[in-house]
């Protein structure tokens, strides 16, 4: 028999509350079988459990010990996950449950913001590039910081993936982050020069640009705009300025800002309304502006425009050397020869009265403004009297010839001057 004092471990309390301890002890003794050394249920079950406990101690941790260890590990794991989840939630979600990256960003990425885009549109663009964790976070940031949002302009920007919404907004508001993919159109350039410059900068083919030019309204021009020359419908309407383009330029996407800018300028000048005062259609006024662009510097444009308007009013030939140069395929010249002025071309304003059929270049704002806001002079002639930009005006042919004589004298004054008079 195992050395276990069953009398101390087996409950002696009576099952019946009215039974005293002595009766319970008597019943315990009477249940004892000396042949089997057995107290029945109490000894067998208790002894077996004790044996299992001591046997297990020899082999390793008990089931109870293992269970306790598992419980402890589970509690530790749950606590660790809770801490990690809380930390991730604090850095990835704003109050209210809006997802947001902690920043400051990972890898560089370029993104193009379209003109006139709303904060929701910008958020969609940024989200598609994995710059922000959610569109709502950026919209909220823009609504909270209207000053920064007001500084966001259309263009291409260099940002990073996985920025916080506030960081993305600040980056877009900073001009230093703009990628300057751009080209410049010079006042007085012809369409062929414009297309070559765009092709060189963007890689868009000249053929594609010409195809897009066949539909002027598709690039943002007003309904009335378009040259009468079917071979060059956008001559005169590709507004000179510096333009930016996106990372995937197309003919339409690079030409549309030029047409849109032209529309903005003529609208601000009340161009289509004011040309009625000059007896011109809007397209005729653009033709005249293109001539003024090539004949004068900005300070003289209102006077030169008035001279041409005075001539048109009396059906006097314009006699513009700039139109003759265009008809002969020349550029960069001030003077023309008798042979060039004899060319039979509708653009030769020595030979034909009135305006040529289309613009001869793409005029800038000064020239467009001069046509609808001319000086009001009553001159019929003008000429340079030197190659420093000094212009003399005349009302009669005789006065004009005296002015021309001054120019000839200046040109013959020195070899250096003569070289400038070609």
H-helix or E-strand containing 101?
none
- CATH superfamily name and code, 99-179: Endolytic murein transglycosylase (3.30.1490.480)
**Percentage with pLDDT > 90 across the chain:** 65
Question: How many residues are recorded in the chain?
Answer: 422
Q: Quick one: pLDDT at residue 357? A: 94
Instruction: Find residue 111's DSSP bridge partners.
Output: 157
Mean residue pLDDT across the chain: 83
Given a cut of 50, is residue 30 above it in pLDDT?
no
Residue 242 Cα distances to 181, 183, 204, angstroms: 10, 6, 17
For residue 89, what are the contacts with CB-CB under 8 A and spacing of at least 6?
none
| Half-sphere CA count of 404, side-chain side, radius 13 A | 9
User: Distance between CA atoms of 66 and 100, rounded to whole angstroms?
Assistant: 43
**Mind listing the pLDDT tens digit for each residue in 354-411?**
999 999 999 999 999 999 999 999 999 999 999 999 999 999 999 999 999 999 999 9
How confident is residue 70, by pLDDT bands cut at 50, 70 and 90?
Answer: confident
**Quick one: average pLDDT of 29-51?**
46
Is residue 170 a contact partner of residue 177, using CB atoms and an 8 Å limit?
no
With 0.85 as the threshold, say if the pTM is over it: no
> Which residue bears the tokens 């099952």?
15
Kindly list the domain boundaries of the chain, sorted by start residue. 6-60, 64-94, 99-179, 191-378
**Mind listing the pLDDT tens digit for each residue in 325-335?**
999 998 877 78
Q: Quick one: pLDDT at residue 59? A: 47
Q: Quick one: pLDDT at residue 67? A: 67
Under DSSP, is residue 244 helix (H, G, I), strand (E, B) or coil? strand
Two tokens, residue 85? 């989840």
In this structure, the number of other CB atoms found within 10 A of the CB of residue 158 comes to 13
Given a cut of 80, is residue 3 above it in pLDDT?
no
**Mind listing the pLDDT tens digit for each residue in 262-291?**
999 999 999 999 999 889 999 999 999 999
Two tokens, residue 410? 């200046």
- Show the beta-strand stretches assigned E in 86-162: 93-94, 98-99, 108-113, 155-160
How confident is residue 15, by pLDDT bands cut at 50, 70 and 90?
Answer: very low
């Amino acid at each position: 028999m195992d050395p276990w004092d069953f009398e101390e471990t087996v409950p002696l309390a009576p099952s019946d509350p009215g039974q005293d301890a002595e009766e319970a002890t008597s019943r315990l003794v009477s249940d004892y079988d000396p042949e089997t050394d057995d107290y029945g249920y109490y000894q067998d079950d208790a002894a077996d459990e004790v044996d299992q406990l001591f046997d297990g101690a020899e082999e390793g941790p008990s089931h109870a010990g293992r269970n306790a260890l598992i419980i402890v590990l589970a509690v530790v794991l749950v606590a660790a996950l809770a801490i990690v989840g809380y930390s991730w939630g604090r850095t990835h979600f704003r109050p209210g449950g809006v997802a947001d990256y902690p920043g400051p960003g990972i890898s560089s990425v370029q993104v193009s913001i379209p003109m006139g885009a709303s904060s929701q549109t910008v958020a969609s663009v940024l989200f598609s590039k994995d710059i922000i964790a959610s569109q709502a976070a950026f919209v909220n940031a823009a609504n909270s910081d209207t000053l920064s949002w007001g500084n966001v302009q259309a263009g291409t920007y260099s940002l990073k993936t996985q920025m916080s919404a506030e960081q993305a907004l600040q980056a877009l508001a900073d001009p230093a982050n703009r990628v300057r993919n751009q080209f410049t159109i010079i006042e007085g350039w012809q369409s062929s020069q414009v297309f070559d410059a765009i092709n060189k900068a963007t890689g868009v083919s000249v053929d594609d640009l010409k195809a897009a030019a066949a539909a002027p309204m598709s690039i943002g021009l007003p309904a009335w705009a378009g040259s009468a020359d079917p071979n060059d419908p956008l001559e005169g309407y590709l507004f000179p300025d510096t333009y930016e383009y996106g990372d995937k330029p197309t003919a339409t996407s690079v030409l549309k800002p030029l047409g849109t800018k032209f529309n903005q300028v003529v609208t601000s000048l009340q161009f289509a309304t004011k040309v009625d005062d000059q007896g011109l259609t809007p397209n005729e006024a653009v033709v005249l502006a293109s001539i003024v662009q090539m004949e004068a510097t900005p300070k003289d444009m209102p006077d030169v425009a008035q001279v041409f308007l005075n001539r048109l009013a009396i059906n006097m030939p314009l006699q513009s050397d700039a139109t003759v140069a265009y008809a002969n395929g020349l550029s960069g010249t001030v003077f023309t020869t008798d042979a060039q002025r004899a060319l039979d071309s509708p653009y030769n304003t020595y030979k034909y009265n009135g305006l040529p059929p289309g613009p001869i270049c793409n005029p800038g704002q000064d020239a467009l403004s001069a046509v609808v806001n001319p000086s009001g002079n009553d001159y019929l002639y003008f000429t340079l009297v030197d190659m420093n930009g000094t212009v003399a005006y005349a009302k009669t042919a005789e006065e004009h010839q005296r002015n021309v004589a001054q120019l000839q004298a200046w040109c013959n004054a020195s070899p250096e001057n003569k070289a400038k008079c070609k």
